[in-house]
Amino acid sequence: MQAPLRRKPRRRCPLYAEDEREKLRAAGRFNAQLMDFVRTIVGPGVKTIDIDRQVYEYTKDHGHRPATLGYKQYPKSTCVSVNEVVCHGIPDETVLKPGDIANVDITTIVDGWYGDQSETFLIGDVTEEAKRLVQTTFDALYLGIAAAQPYARVTEIGRAIEQFARKQKFSVVREYQGHGIGQEFHQDPGIPHYVPTLNAPQDILEPGMCFTIEPMLNVGTWRTFVDSRDNWTVRTSDLALSAQFEHTILMTENGPEILTLTTNGPQPGHIF
Ligand code: MF3
Ligand code: CO
Ligand code: CO
C-alpha cells in the first residue's frame, strides 16, 4: 500500500527555556569576545586570510568550533566581505587598503549552541558615501532590533529597516535574510530585512525565540549575483558598495535581548 502523500509540515520555531537561554547567552558572549579580538587585528595592510587564521586559532584555543568551516563545504572560519561583496566573501590573499569597507562575519559553536554576528569595519579613511552607508546599516540594525517586540510580527523588523534605508536612498538586499538559530546554524523563522510583500511570512515573535537580524544595505541596486568561480562570494550586480551588521537576538518576555553585544565595538547610537 502506498503511504499517503503528506505535505511537509512547516518546522516550528523552537522556544527556548531558561537553561537553553543560558547556553545561547554563553555562545553569544564568546562570539562577541571573538569580535573584540577581530577588532584588534583588522586594518590597512592586513590580508583577509590572516584574519581568518587568527579567528580559527582563537576559537580553538578557547575550546570552541568555527561554525562556517565545512558548513555546506564552505572552506573557511569567517566570511570577509570587502566593498562590493555583499556576504560570504572567502578570506584569501586580498590585502585590506585604506578606503575599503570590510565586513567580518563570525559564527561559533559553543557547547553545541551557535552565536552569529558581523560588523563592517572602515579601513583607514573612507569616502563620505561609504561612511554614510556603514552608519545607515548600523542604525538600521538597531531599528530592526527595536521593532522586534514580544508577539509582534516578524515582518515589523524588515519594515523598520527598509523604511529607514530608503529615506537614506540606500537599497536593501532581498535574497539573503536573518534566520532562527540555536543548536543549528540556520533554522526557522526567516527574517526578511525588507517591507513585507503580499506573501510575507506570518510568524509571530514569541518569547523564547532566538534569531539573527543582519541587514545588508547597498549604495546602488539591491540585486546581487554569486561568483561562479567559487559559488560563494555574493556581489552587488552593479558592483557598488554594500555594508552589513548582524546580531543574535533572544526574544524575552521583556523584549529583545542582544546576545552578541561587544565590549569594545560601536554601541547603539555610535557615530562613525
Ligand atoms: N554567518 C552567515 C550568516 O549570518 C552565514 C555564513 S555561511 C557560510 O548567516 F557558509 F557562508 F559561511
Ligand atoms: Co546569520
Ligand atoms: Co553571520
Q: What does the alpha-carbon distance between residue 247 and residue 266 come to, in Å, rounded to a whole number? A: 13
Give the HSE-up count for residue 158: Cα atoms under 13 Å, Cβ half-sphere: 24
CA of 6 to the centre of ligand 2 (A): 31
Reported as half-sphere exposure (CB side, CA atoms, 13 A), residue 228 has a value of 0
Per-residue pLDDT, 8: 46
The Cα–Cα gap between 63 and 34 comes to 13
Q: How many angstroms does the Cα of residue 3 sit away from the middle of ligand 2?
A: 37
Question: Which mutation among 51, 59, 120, 185 tests ligand 1's pocket best, with the greatest number of atoms within 8 A of CB?
Answer: 185
Decide: 214 in ligand 1 pocket, CB within 6 A. yes
Mean pLDDT of residues grouped by 10 in the chain (272 residues)?
Answer: 50 90 99 99 98 99 98 98 99 98 99 98 98 99 98 98 98 98 97 95 96 99 98 99 99 98 98 98
Q: How many CB atoms lie within 10 A of CB 145?
A: 20
Return the pLDDT at 5.
Answer: 53
Closest ligand 1 atom to the C-alpha of 186?
Answer: 9
Cα(199) to ligand 3 centroid in Å equals 25
Q: Report whether 120 contacts 137 (CB < 8 A).
A: yes
Residues 6+ apart with CB under 8 A from 57: none
CB 231 within 8 A of CB 223: no
pLDDT at 11: 58
Would you say 210 and 16 are in contact if contact means Cβ atoms under 8 Å apart?
yes
Q: Which protein residues have a CB closer than 5 Å to ligand 2 (ion)? A: 116, 212
Q: How far apart are CA 15 and CA 20, in angstroms?
A: 9
What b/e readout covers 116-130, taking b as 16+ CB neighbours within 10 angstroms?
A: bbbbbbbbeebeeeb
Nearest residue by C-alpha to atom 11 in ligand 1: 88
Cα 106 to ligand 1 centroid, rounded to whole Å = 8
- pLDDT at site 13: 87
Indicate whether residue 181 lines ligand 1 (CB < 6 A). no
DSSP string, the chain: -PPPP-PPPPPPPP---HHHHHHHHHHHHHHHHHHHHHHHH-STT-BHHHHHHHHHHHHHHTT-EESSTTGGG--SS-EEEETTEEE-PPP-SPBP-TT-EEEEEEEEEETTEEEEEEEEEE-SS--HHHHHHHHHHHHHHHHHHHH--TT-BTHHHHHHHHHHHHHTT-EE--S--EEE-SSSSSEEEEE--S---TT----B--TT-EEEE--EEESS-S-EEE-TTTS--EEETT---EEE-BEEEEEETTEEEETT--SSSPPTT---
Among the atoms of ligand 1, which is closest to the Cα of residue 79?
12
CATH of the domain spanning 12-258, picked from 3.30.360.10, 3.40.309.10, 3.40.630.40, 3.90.230.10 = 3.90.230.10
**What are the extents of the domains in the chain?**
12-258
